[in-house]
Amino acid sequence: MIYDVVVVGAGPAGCAAAQSCAKKGLSTLCIEEHGTIGYPIQCAGLLSVAAFDECRVSQHSVLNTVNGARLISSKDNALHFDAKKTKAFVVDRGVLDKEMAIAAADAGAEFLTKTALFDLNSTSVRTQGIHGKREFNYHILIAADGPRSTVARLMQMKRSNIYLAGIQADMKFDMDLRFVEIYPDASPEFFGYAIPIGIDRVRIGLCGQTNVMERFNAFRKKFGDVFTNLVTGTIPLGVMPKTYGNRTLFVGDAAGFVKPTSGGGVYTGVRSARHAASVAVAACSQDRFDDNFLAQYEHRWQADFGDMLISGLRFFKLRQQLNSEDIDRLICAMNDPDIIEAIIKYGDMDNPVPLIKKLMRNPSIFTVMSTLMRSRFRSIFKEQIKSV
């Protein structure tokens, strides 16, 4: 038998791709190396309302809803945004992924768990696992196998070389359930976070490139001693130069579709999967599996969120140049009712770039930025300000 589509990986991107393909009548097989879909969890579970909607699931996975955030500097200066309505869901990713897999299976996709891809050629994959060694033929392969994509490695596809290590834990701590807290100083390359997941429960973590465990241990002390559910994971930043080829479409983390400003990858991952499924449906109906045809996948995701990823990577690089004092000065400059109102009005977790660009045009923020530019960031800020 030849499957129309084989999907490798049953994370949100893989499940969304499998569901959309099966729903359109394509014979679809989804292969997952772990026994239980959704586990181990490697995610903080903070999804914007749009990202959550994109997953097309019930509210079963929702642990909490949040209305805004507090951005807290090393000197305890804080910016507080309260949209007074739900801006994001905090979910249990294990429950969410499983529900997405069930939806895909209900649409007709077959699932093989405890089965890992270990080899492939241009029309079949070889797997090993609970059913021994097997081979599956396909017309189109959708690589949704996460940040360390085996498919990308086997196909010798070039990938971005920026990876962040993430580490988080759930702790007993009393915080306002309505707000996420962001601590830029907890990780000089990125930030630390505290996300309320229920009464007296908080999920705290950080991402970075160096000394991540040490920084995490220092950061978590703010929240007490006892922690459960220690999670570690990898976040790839930067899209691979070519996201298709050899009958294969790369989606989600496998392609590097993570927002460089937040490390969130569910929204872009699921959207990329829906684009890949549309292209797979067209390819199967027209019997066209050549690279020229599959290139339309890249046009689709680029038109959807490509600019945001490119600008986001610039802001990621810029953020790395800011020290605690710079961030404190920026937070103080932004602590103005008009700016906060603009953040609440225009802030979009899935695409923060337009807001950041808008803020950089604000006179008081511009003054702080210009001072920084005159000192040690001349070339970086010049690049940023040119792009605004």
Ligand X SMILES: Cc1cc2nc3c(=O)[nH]c(=O)nc-3n(C[C@H](O)[C@H](O)[C@H](O)COP(=O)(O)OP(=O)(O)OC[C@H]3O[C@@H](n4cnc5c(N)ncnc54)[C@H](O)[C@@H]3O)c2cc1C
CB of 313 to ligand X, least distance (A): 15
Q: Are strands 162-172 and 244-245 parallel, antiparallel or unpaired?
A: unpaired
CB 117 within 8 A of CB 150: yes
Among 57, 72, 117, 143, binds ligand X (CB under 6 A): 117
Nearest distance from residue 166's CB to ligand X, in Å? 3
The one among 4, 9, 68, 384 contacting ligand X by CB under 6 A: 9
> Residue 384, class by beta-carbon neighbours within 10 Å (0-12 exposed, 13-18 middle, 19+ buried)?
buried
C-alpha distances (whole Å) from 33 to each of 44, 120, 126 are 21, 15, 12
Site string for ligand X, 216-245 (x = CB under 6 A): ---------------x-x-x----------
CB of 300 to ligand X, least distance (A): 17
Among positions 67, 79, 100, 166, the unique one binding ligand X when judged by CB under 6 A: 166
Interface with ligand X, residue 33, by CB under 6 A: yes
Answer for which of 31, 152, 182, 334 binds ligand X (CB under 6 A) is: 31
DSSP 8-state class, residue 73? -
Residue 374 CB, shortest distance to ligand X, in Å, is: 36
Question: Rounded to an integer, what distance in angstroms lies between the CA atom of residue 366 and that of residue 388?
Answer: 12
Residue 190 Cβ vs ligand X, minimum distance, rounded to whole Å: 11
Does the bond joining 12 to the residue before it have cis omega, within 30 degrees of 0? no
Nearer to ligand X, 150 or 248 (CB): 150
Whole-angstrom Cα distance, residue 120 to residue 104?
Answer: 24
Q: Which helix (H) or strand (E) holds 195?
A: strand 191-198
Nearest residue to ligand X, by Cβ distance, number only: 265
**206 within 8 A of 216, measured Cβ to Cβ:** yes
Task: Candidates 4, 32, 170, 185: give the one binding ligand X (CB under 6 A).
Answer: 32
Give the whole-angstrom CA distance, residue 241 versus residue 235.
17
Binding region for ligand X (CB under 6 A) out of 20-28, 44-52, 337-345, 360-368: 44-52
Residues in contact with ligand X by CB under 6 A are 8-14, 31-34, 42-47, 51, 116-117, 144-146, 150, 166, 168, 205, 231, 233, 235, 252-254, 258, 263-266, 269
